[in-house]
Chains A and B, each alone.
Chain A
Amino acid sequence: MNIFVLNSARFVLFVLFQVLILNNLEPGLGLYAMIYPLFIFMLPFQMGTVPLMLTSFAFGLVIDSFSNTFGLHASSAVVMAFFRPIIFKWLSPRDGYDSVESVNVYSMGGRWFLYSYGTLLLIHHTWFFSIESFKLNEFIWILLKIGLSVPSSFLLSLLVQFIFISNKKAIR
């Protein structure tokens, strides 16, 4: 499938999933599961950092428009896009990423996914919740939010990939 069409379809689906379902799940204690970082994570390897950040900015702005956060999601998405190439470089396999076509759990292996996506998610969530509160005396509460939201977002992203990406196709 054309990579542009694929990513545009993902764009819409991730927005709908985040906005219509996840934004309404509010189990308390500040747990806020986010699936949309996975979209930024799964954008093609070949993309330069600047187009990556611009795409993330537009994507975050769309999420913002539906959840009344006025630029908070856009800011966090840009932070994640900024750190993605750095983390990828840091965790790159011995023969580089040349042979890999798409970024997901199957093509890159579980351990690599845990480290790279986990780190990026931690950066993203830390930025998001810190800017959201922007008060030092709510520090412990922010930590609790991050500690609960990061694992749930991570598991959710893992689940989405297991369900929607077929194993055979990804390896080939």
Chain B
Amino acid sequence: MRNLIAFFKRFQIFLVFVLLQIVALSAYVQYSDFARLQVFSSASRINGGLFEVRNSFTKHFNLEGTNRKLEWENARLREKLKISNYKIDRELIQIEDTNYRQQYLYMAAAVINNTYDKRNNYMTIDIGKNHGIRKGWGVISSKGVVGIVHLVGESYSVVKTILSKNINVDVSMRDGGAFGLLKWDGINPKICQISGISNDISIKKFTKVITRGGSGIYPKGIPVGVITKRKSIEGKPLWDLQVRIAEDFRTIQHVYVIKNVMLDELKELEGRIPPDKEEEDF
């Protein structure tokens, strides 16, 4: 026993070092499982509050650009209004819309903190649990895909943007329909990569990339970006595709959080697929 105490005394510094490293690194590596760790993110009230104060100053710097973006979007939405369409059927047939049901709901939010230069990039938005936000919902902007809600606080939440490791957004080509997963290699905040597309599928430069809507997070057809470069990976029958993403994360200020009303149904249905038994046999 005395030897043990002597041992601890002797290596006290190193033991404290190891202990603190274990606490810090386990938090970093498996942060999503730590519910307590929400306290230590910008979704918490104090930190979110501080960022909101800062945002109230800095949001004016990009006001012109933001206004132009919103004007452009307003104009596009106005085109879709009933009053700007010429009515063809002239009350002959009354259409009661039972064919279409609302699937996706959108909630506007302001970005109050944002990075684009780290290996994993997050943004803090000013809505949270009080507004009904839940983890795993998609986030888009007027230009394209932004990310996925990662942590939810009382009135703020943290969004993991597509500029992150292992974000794996389901995307497909608008022409041709080949689909893969969106990834980011951490180098250029304007360029993402798509993996998992077989290189016998012909893909042209400047093909538009859209969301596939497979996982029910985003609706199908939200713009992601444009293919700028393609080459085949050596030794694998796959394309290495570079995508110039539509959203500019350096100036982003307003986003929409998407709620999929039918997400539970989709998940329940997909959960019923039996797991592969053949693999276990081998």
Contact = CB atoms under 8 A, between A and B. Distances in A.
B37 interface: yes
Interface stretch (B23-31, B170-178, B269-277): B23-31
Given A53-B17, A65-B44, A82-B17, A28 B117 contact: yes
A60 B27 CA distance: 13
B74 interface: no
Interface in A1-48: 19-20, 23-24, 26-28, 30-32
Contacts of A28: 117, 189
A82 to B, nearest CB: 5
A87 B16 CA distance: 19
B17 A70 contact: no
Contacts of B117: 26-28, 30-32
A167 interface: no
Interface residues of B, number: 38
Interface in B140-196: 158, 185-187, 189
A155 B158 CA distance: 32
Contacts of B39: 65
A71 B28 contact: yes
Interface in A52-97: 53-54, 57, 60-61, 64-72, 74-75, 78-79, 82
A141 interface: yes
Interface residues of A, number: 36
B232 interface: no
A75 B22 CA distance: 9
A70 B16 contact: no
B54 A20 contact: yes
A65 B42 contact: yes
Contacts of B66: none
A1 to B, nearest CB: 26
A65 B12 contact: no
B7 interface: no
B54 A131 contact: no
B17 A26 contact: no
B43 to A, nearest CB: 9
A72 B16 CA distance: 17
A131 B40 contact: no
A65 B41 CA distance: 4
A61 B54 contact: no
Given A49-B13, A65-B42, A133-B186, A72 B116 contact: no
Contacts of B115: 23-24, 26, 67-68
A100 interface: no
A75 B25 CA distance: 7
A61 B47 CA distance: 13
Given A26-B117, A132-B118, A138-B186, A60 B44 contact: no
A71 B25 contact: yes
B21 interface: yes
A171 interface: no
20 contacts: A20-B54, A28-B117, A28-B189, A30-B117, A31-B117, A49-B16, A53-B13, A57-B23, A61-B24, A64-B40, A65-B44, A67-B42, A68-B42, A68-B122, A71-B24, A71-B26, A75-B25, A82-B13, A132-B119, A141-B186
Given A50-B13, A70-B27, 9 more contacts: A50-B16, A53-B20, A54-B16, A61-B40, A66-B50, A69-B118, A75-B25, A78-B20, A78-B21
